[in-house]
């Protein structure tokens, strides 16, 4: 049984989900971001699915049923992977990358994404980038200029303005704050 899952954004998600399902006696054949494959099991199919849905719900995941939602989730995973491995490529813009990767016109991808996520692709990607900026600031391995370069900002001023617009504070204020206020990727909308 193959299930498409929403909100799986990291390797810890995979580990936790596999562990909890196997504790219930559900054999996981394979698991990757957004896709869970369960070995066919003897027993009541409805009961097994209910157990799976309970584990998913407890961990803030959900089963995706429509092909359109699956495509949106694939776009989100693709963008997450892009963010996780900077530097971003400034020679190709986001619309070209997504159109090529998903073999659809960007306009249709953008419209579909906005319909299901209640935000545009561009705004979603900016929010992902800002969360990555927060992570890089916390690591204290890069200057603000280097972070801007890694995430393909035209200048540190552009990055600073966007950071303040999204977070409500400057990068320096964020860096000096006692508590870092980062959002999990699966809560970005």
Side-chain-facing half-sphere of 50: CA atoms under 13 Å: 5
Write down the pLDDT at residue 136.
94
- CB-CB contact of 122 with 134 (8 Å): no
- CB-CB contact of 132 with 80 (8 Å): no
Structure tokens, 170: 């400057």
Write down the pLDDT at residue 42.
67
Query: Rounded to 10 degrees, what is the CA torsion of 59, 62, 63, 64?
Result: -140
Q: Which fold has domain 66-185?
A: Arc Repressor Mutant, subunit A (1.10.10)
Q: What is the pLDDT of residues 66-85, one digit of tens each?
A: 999 999 999 999 999 899 88
Q: What proportion of the chain, given as a percentage, has pLDDT over 90?
A: 68
Q: What is the pTM of this model?
A: 0.85
CATH 3.30.70.100 range(s) for the chain read 1-64
Write down the pLDDT at residue 105.
97
The answer on pLDDT for 90 being more than 80 is no
Write down the pLDDT at residue 70.
94
CA quadruple 20, 73, 7, 136: dihedral sign: positive
The answer on pLDDT for 24 being more than 70 is yes
Give the residue from 3, 58, 51 showing the smallest Cα distance to 31: 3
CATH 1.10.10.60 range(s) for the chain read 66-185
Find the radius of gyration of the CA atoms of the chain.
19
Write down the pLDDT at residue 58.
93
Q: What is the pLDDT of residues 150-183, one digit of tens each?
A: 999 999 999 999 999 999 999 999 999 877 778 7
Intra-chain end-to-end CA distance of the chain, in Å: 29
Query: Tell me, what DSSP letter sits at residue 36?
Result: E
Query: Once rounded to an integer, what is the mean pLDDT over residues 111-121?
Result: 95
Q: Which fold has domain 1-64?
A: Alpha-Beta Plaits (3.30.70)
Q: What proportion of the chain, given as a percentage, has pLDDT over 70?
A: 98
- Please list, residue by residue across 43-77, b when 16 or more beta carbons sit within 10 angstroms of its beta carbon and e when fewer do: eeeeebeebbeebbeeeebeebeeeebbbbbbbbb
Query: Once rounded to an integer, what is the mean pLDDT over residues 141-149?
Result: 95
């Amino acid at each position: 049984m193959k299930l498409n899952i929403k909100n799986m954004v990291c390797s810890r998600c995979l580990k936790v989900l596999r562990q909890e399902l196997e504790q219930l006696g559900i054999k996981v054949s394979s698991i990757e971001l957004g896709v869970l494959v369960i070995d066919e099991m003897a027993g009541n199919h409805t009961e097994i699915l209910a157990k799976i849905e309970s584990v998913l719900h407890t961990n803030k995941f959900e089963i995706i049923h429509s092909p359109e939602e699956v495509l949106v989730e694939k776009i989100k995973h693709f963008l997450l992977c892009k963010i996780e491995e900077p530097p971003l490529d400034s020679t190709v813009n986001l619309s070209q990358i997504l159109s090529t990767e998903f073999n659809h016109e960007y306009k249709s991808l953008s419209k579909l994404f906005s319909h299901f996520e209640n935000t545009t692709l561009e705004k979603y990607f900016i929010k992902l980038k800002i969360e990555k900026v927060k992570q890089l600031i916390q690591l204290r391995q890069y200057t603000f200029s280097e972070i801007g370069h890694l995430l393909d900002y035209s200048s540190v001023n552009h990055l600073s303005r966007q950071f303040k617009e999204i977070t409500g504070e400057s990068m320096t204020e964020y860096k000096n704050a006692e508590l870092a206020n980062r959002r999990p990727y699966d809560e970005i909308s």
